[in-house]
């Protein structure tokens, strides 16, 4: 049995990771300040004596004795990370320093949840890990993009300078149950709008693309990454290479929900990347042939069922 710390453990991805690692017989500490996370995501785990929930802000030092750390604490949707951009940057940078300091002290392996946003609005498509990206350092997305880039630097430097065993993954757009219905991300927005019969809001012409990964595929990739023997591995892209336009996504959601919602077009936000698709060759090579298994329609159906029951409870 390993003792595993998950920062951001009450969030969307963290709650799935906690459930899976707990089911495999590990002892889990979830740390969260509940900024975008929700106790409902982990309430079913609270009865398990090997699960512990800690309210803590990762910009402050944290002490525990653990074998592994998954560092996920950070708001992930544009609406939330832009709400208090200075705090977002502090969470990424000071959160990385504190979790790396902890990993150094207790000799734990540590995995950083980085993001495809480090590629910015990419000039290389699809994006391999060797691409350095095209990021605006002073735009509205910078607190997140540059914060995550800085965290990657810190992970590399703690490995080089202090011999900490580190892993970095770059996560591409991920969706599934436990997403926050009001966090403004496209999959949750479209599903909630379709279920409520409201207009589906496409930003811009809807021809921009994203590659959507179902959360179970991400969790599998994260665990395989942590379990590699390398004392340094990464960055490794973890995403689903199947690419869709926002228009295609909207039409699929309307079809699967049987909704009468109409599509409307709103202004495209500043610095919105035009396309994004992971090159996952490295993940396949390093993580024993890992690749996404869940196709978009299948994953959307589970996610629609989740939001449907959530909205029923609200009534």
Known catalytic residues are: 144
Residue (99 or 259) nearer to ligand NAD, CB: 99
Residue (54 or 265) nearer to ligand NAD, CB: 54
Contact between 33 and ligand NAD (CB under 6 A)?
yes
1-60 positions binding ligand UDP, by CB under 6 A:
none
The stretches of 30-141 forming alpha helices (DSSP H) are 78-81, 85-106
> In the chain, what is the greatest distance between 2 CA atoms, to the nearest angstrom?
58
Token pair 């035009």 is found at 274
292: Cβ–Cβ under 8 A, 6 or more apart, which residues? 213, 214, 217, 239, 240, 241, 242, 280
- Nearest-Å Rg of the Cα atoms of the chain is 19
Contact between 85 and ligand UDP (CB under 6 A)?
no
Rounded Cα distance, 66 and 55, in Å: 17
DSSP output for 126-166? SB-TT---B--TTSTTHHHHHHHHHHHHHHHHHHHHH---E
Contact between 83 and ligand NAD (CB under 6 A)?
no
Rounded Cα distance, 54 and 35, in Å: 13
CB of 173 to ligand NAD, least distance (A): 5
Residue (45 or 110) nearer to ligand UDP, CB: 110
Residue (8 or 259) nearer to ligand NAD, CB: 8
CB of 2 to ligand UDP, least distance (A): 17
197-216 positions binding ligand NAD, by CB under 6 A:
none
Residues that bind ligand UDP (CB under 6 A): 61-63, 77-78, 97-98, 101-102, 104-105, 173, 185-186, 189, 201-203, 208, 210, 246, 268-269, 272
């Amino acid at each position: 049995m390993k003792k595993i710390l998950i920062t951001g453990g009450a969030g969307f991805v963290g709650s799935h990771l906690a459930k899976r690692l707990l089911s495999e017989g590990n002892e889990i500490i979830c740390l969260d300040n509940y900024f975008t996370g929700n106790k409902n995501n982990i309430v079913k785990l609270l009865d398990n004596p090997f699960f512990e929930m800690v309210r803590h802000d990762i910009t402050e030092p944290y002490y525990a004795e653990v074998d592994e750390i998954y560092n996920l604490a950070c708001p992930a949707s544009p609406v939330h990370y832009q709400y208090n951009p200075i705090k977002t940057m502090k969470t990424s940078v000071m959160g990385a320093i504190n979790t790396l300091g902890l990993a150094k002290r207790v000799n734990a392996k540590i995995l950083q949840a980085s993001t495809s946003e480090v590629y910015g609005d990419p000039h290389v498509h699809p994006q391999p890990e060797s691409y350095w990206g095209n990021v605006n350092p002073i735009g509205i997305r910078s607190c997140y993009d540059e914060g995550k880039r800085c965290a990657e630097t810190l992970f590399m430097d703690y490995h080089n300078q202090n011999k900490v065993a580190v892993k970095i993954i770059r996560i591409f757009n991920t969706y599934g149950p436990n997403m926050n219905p009001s966090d403004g991300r496209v999959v949750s927005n479209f599903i909630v709008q379709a279920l409520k019969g409201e207009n589906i809001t496409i930003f811009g012409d809807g021809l921009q693309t994203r590659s959507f990964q179902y959360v179970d595929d991400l969790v599998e990739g994260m665990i395989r990454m942590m379990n590699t023997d390398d004392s340094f591995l990464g960055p490794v892209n973890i995403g689903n290479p199947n690419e869709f336009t926002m228009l295609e996504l909207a039409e699929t959601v309307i079809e699967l929900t049987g909704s009468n919602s109409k599509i409307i077009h709103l202004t495209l936000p500043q610095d919105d990347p035009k396309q994004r698709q992971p090159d996952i060759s490295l993940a396949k090579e390093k993580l024993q042939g890992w690749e996404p298994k869940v196709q978009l329609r299948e994953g959307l159906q589970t996610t629609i069922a989740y939001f449907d029951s959530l909205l029923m409870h609200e009534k």
